[in-house]
Amino acid sequence: MIYIEQVTKRYDGKTVLEVPQWRASEGEIIGLVGSNGAGKTTFLRLLLDLIEPDTGEIQIDGKAISGSDWKQFTGSYLDQRFLIDYLSGDEFLDFIRTIYGLSRAEAEQALTPYRTFLPTNGDANKYLRDLSTGNAKKVGITAAMFVSPRLLILDEPFANLDPPSQLRLKQLLRDLHAATGATMLISSHDLVHVTDLCDRITLIDHGKVVTDAATSDETLEELRTFFGEVPDTAAPDEAAPDSTA
């Protein structure tokens, strides 16, 4: 489904990402892990055609991402820039349903499993800009998921969520995959969530793919050893969380 070949990205003459080859097959759930600033967000932004690579090729379903076909079946949420902050959560979700061509009845049915995940009570009617980082993220993640995408891309979805919301999100992701067989790419620095949810792990460090292997006890041990040796230092590419739900 996803094809990456000889991709590099540079800023100010410095190579921040270099991926000679990477593939994702239909239906895989892949965890993208690495320390802050390792290049995970750059990887996802390239994949979503938000920035252009300096070299190389990225394809989805055999077509260059410079086209728009893949956008019709892709759901994604990287950060709050994906939101429209002067809308309420319900208004934003209604906007998303129009983009994907869902009727109000279809959208309401599709949103039913997410109602216990979305902000409730007074927060339900607040502008997105007035919500906590965690509650705004819940709306953004829901917007990416309720349209039943064939490809789902989420950057640090568990950060800024309280433990019950993290567990609820993990179950929603499992349910979505069981129902649709969607290909999922989930970036996180939380090894527990990623190894519990994903059937393959890609480790990025200093802009390069260090490990790309099926999830197993051996893979988890390798990752724990790796992160025990590498300090987790914040960098402009991926800022540390600043608030909770």
The tens digit of pLDDT for each residue in 196-219 reads 999 999 999 999 999 999 999 999
Q: What is the span of the domain harbouring residue 194? A: 2-229
- 178: in domain: yes
First CA to last CA across the chain, in angstroms? 34
What is the average pLDDT value for the chain, to the nearest integer?
92
**What CA–CA distance (Å, rounded) separates 110 from 148?**
8
Q: Is residue 245 part of a domain?
A: no
pLDDT in tens, 64-77: 999 878 999 999 99
Residue 243, in any domain of the structure = no
The predicted pLDDT at position 229 comes to 52
- Residue 31 resides in a domain: yes
Report yes or no on 234 lying in a domain.
no
Backbone Cα Rg of the chain? 18
pLDDT, tens only, 119-128: 988 888 899 9
Global pTM reads 0.91
Question: Is 82 within the bounds of a domain?
Answer: yes
Structural domain count of the chain? 1
Residues 6+ apart with CB under 8 A from 31: 186, 187, 188, 194, 195, 197, 198, 200, 201, 202, 215
User: Is residue 182 predicted with pLDDT exceeding 60?
Assistant: yes
Q: What are phi and psi of 123, to 5 degrees?
A: -70, -20
Is residue 242 one of the residues assigned to a domain?
Answer: no
The CATH number assigned to the domain holding 60 equals: 3.40.50.300
pLDDT value at residue 122: 80
The answer to whether residue 125 is domain-embedded is yes
